[in-house]
Structure 1
Amino acid sequence: MADHVLGDAWRTGPSMTGITRRHLEVNGLRMHLAEAGTGPLVLLLHGFPESAYSWRSQLTALAEAGFHAVAPDQRGYAGTDRPAATEDYTILHLVGDVVALIDALGERTATVVGHDWGAIVAWQTALLRPERVRGVAALSVPYMPRGSRPPMAALRAAYGDAHYQVYFQRPGVAEAELGADLDETFRRALYGLSGDSPRVWPMLVPEGGRLVESWPRPGRLPAWLTEDDIATYVREYSAGGFTGPLNWYRNLDRNWALTAAWDGAPITMPALLLAGDLDPVIAAFDLRRLRGSMRAHIRDLRGFELIPGAGHWLQQERPAEVNAALTDFAAATATG
């Protein structure tokens, strides 16, 4: 596997004290991870288009609370290897990476936390390998049981070709747009899907338009987002690009086929959902029905919490609330 030179992509300062970075061989990949602290293992799985950097506040908070907090750059992202084949990014590969990372860290179990796509991986790890997961916490993306038909057919029936996940299916198209001006992409995406945006993004690509243009551009960055943060993501994606991350989406129908054996199986360990009430993902659901579905499929749902005024980048927008919830949940699931 190719070696990656990261450079100093993480800003320094008090918020980064105690965080170290290294590479491990994990499931055939050379995986970059950031970690802090000692104690029971808590894995932090990032979403799209992010990296381990998105967990900078949680790494230090969990370490201070007595945990070994580890945030990897997941398969295809930033400082981790990027397999060339699209089919090397299925949910079985992603769950396999989590299990192999737990092994590589010398542990048998972990509390697994995920945001956005990382939440999907966390839920699926809990479903497919429950003996390795003490507790599962998800930010922004609720548990969604396997549907009755492939996801792309369902999305096209509901939205036509305008839904962003349908747009992502064509190789080369989305990566060219997202990569054309990385500063503009991250400036608009991080603001436009946040609780500070003037509107909740409808998750659609404008007809005849561009995805990036569907996110408003901030006149001024919100308090939780700095120029250094944007520059960090720009540096990380300058090296790796978007093809690996987008390949996660290009396996949605394949994932549906591969997980047929777990159709109807429950999540058995303690679970938690945190989300912003202005998150476009949450806005797509009928909350009453969503709560009912999650309670029907999760045997021990400890919390379904919406944070007022927060958007999609929850752990970055509201670190204090997220840190408090995750340290409490990690303490409650420290053994098992």
Structure 2
Amino acid sequence: MSALESQMPPVQRAPVNGIEMAYYEAGPREGVPIILCHGFPELAFSWRHQLKAFEAAGRWVVAPDQRGYGLSSRPEAVTDYDMEHLTGDLTGLLDHLGVEKAIFCGHDWGGIVVWQLPLMHPGRVAGVIGLNTPFMPRSPLDPIALMRMRFGPDMYIVWFQTPGDADAVLSADVEKTMRFFMRKPAALQAAAAQPAAGGSTFAFKELLQRWDASDTGSQLLTPEELAAFVESFRRTGFTGGINWYRNFTRNWERSEGLPVRIDRLPCLMITAEKDAVLTPAMAEGMPGMIGDLEMHMIHGSGHWTQQEKPEEVNQLILDWLDRRFPK
């Protein structure tokens, strides 16, 4: 039996927003559901520890494979992965579950999406939990142009904009790719360091190709857990997930005129001390933009916080839920 089968509830499927979404549900169908939204390159499986803990605490919890990932649909058009579609999938999931509102918890790219939900669909959101990913003000310029200026042309998000290139590089050896990404904080911090020669920061193409895959000391996952990710991405490739990044400019253009604050909505922000990509410093401005905000830091955690420090994540979220959304 695979880790996906042994560590996750049975998969369910919902027709939402023109696609089929696979999702995993646990806990009693009562109270406000918590929707767990994964990042890149991840799956609903990234939330396996939270599904178990929330179920044990009597909380209704749902983790979807989002558009482009895992067992969910992977549309062809790049524009089918813009913020309108990604948030629409989640409100469609609420319609399928028969609920008006949910608490949305997002990590990495999932965090970007859940912070947009109260701006785009305020009537469907009961609360927001950001894991590593802060609520950020709208950029004054096209974010891809800004990243190119600040980090260089080989920075991974800029590199991802080139059609087909990153897709092929990451898919060439899926196991190596997943082992490169799913490493402990020290290894990822080293990858994020400013290159001595003044090249691009976060130049994952070059770093991945240079990385010695015999390095097993920095691995975060058990072999069984790693296999669940590897099997999935071998089947799907990475294009669906990369297409989220290819909408940075489109999302920026279309977000003009959206609210710039979140008020009258309980929000929780959990940062990770050693996340090299989404640093705690990026969240420092949040109290000025969110009226009802609680913030915590998890010490010693790198980027993959819900998998690295599941007990701490679960405790912080469940404590906040008990205070803000008592059963």
- The one-letter code of the counterpart of 1:125 is L
Cα deviation 1:165-192 (Å, max 9, x = unaligned): 101000110011111111111111101x
* Distance in structure 1 (CA, Å) of the matches to 2:305 and 2:259: 29
Deviations 1:261-310 (A, max 9, x none): 21524354111111221101234x7x2x742x20111111112x221111
Query: Offset of 1:200 from its aligned partner?
Result: 4.0
Show the 5 A alignment for 1:83-94.
83-94=75-86
Q: Tell me the residue number matched to 1:4.
A: none
1:299 counterpart SS class: coil
Q: 2:142 is matched with which residue? A: 150
SS in 2 for 1:119: helix
Name the structure 1 match of 2:179: 187
Q: Alpha carbon RMSD of aligned pairs, Å?
A: 2.2
Higher alpha-carbon deviation: 197-206 or 237-246: 197-206
1:190-205 superposed matches below 5 A = 190-191=182-183, 194-197=184-187, 199-202=189-192, 203-205=201-203
Give SS of 1:281's match: coil
Number of the residue aligned with 2:206 = 210
Matched pairs, number: 317
Aligned partner of residue 73 in structure 2, secondary structure: coil
Task: Tell me what 1:35 maps to.
Answer: 25
Contact 1:111/1:334, CA 8 A, preserved across alignment = no
Partner residue of 2:315?
324
1:237 and 2:233 correspond: yes
Match of 2:93 in 1: 101
Unaligned runs of 5+ in 1: 1-6
Q: Deviations over 1:189-219 (max 9, x none)?
A: 101xx3252744325217xx62424667573
Quote the residue 1:114 is aligned against.
106
Relative to structure 1, the CA distance from residue 160 to residue 131 in structure 2 (aligned partners, 3 Å threshold; closer, same or farther) is same
Q: Percent identity?
A: 38
Larger CA deviation: 223-232 vs 28-37:
223-232
Aligned to 1:10: 4
Q: Distance in 1 between matches of 2:54 and 2:218?
A: 25
Structure 1 segment 285-296 matched on structure 2, within 5 A = 287=281, 290-291=283-284, 293-296=285-288
Partners in 2 of 1:270 and 1:218 — Cα distance?
A: 45
* Amino acid corresponding to residue 233 of structure 1 in structure 2: F
Q: Shift in Å at residue 11 of structure 1? A: 4.5
Which residue pairs with 2:10 in the alignment? 20
Give the stretch that moved more between structures: 266-275 or 243-252.
266-275
Shift, 1:23, TM fit:
0.7
Q: How does 1:250-261 map to 2 (within 5 A)?
A: 250-261=246-257
**Structure 1 residue 330 displacement after superposition:** 2.7
Distance 1:58 1:221, change over 3 A: farther
Give me the TM-score of the superposition, normalised by structure 1.
0.88
Cα separation, 1, equivalents of 2:61 and 2:51 = 5
Deviation at 1:223, TM superposition (A): 7.9
Q: Which ranges of structure 2 fall in alignment gaps of 5 or more residues?
A: 193-200
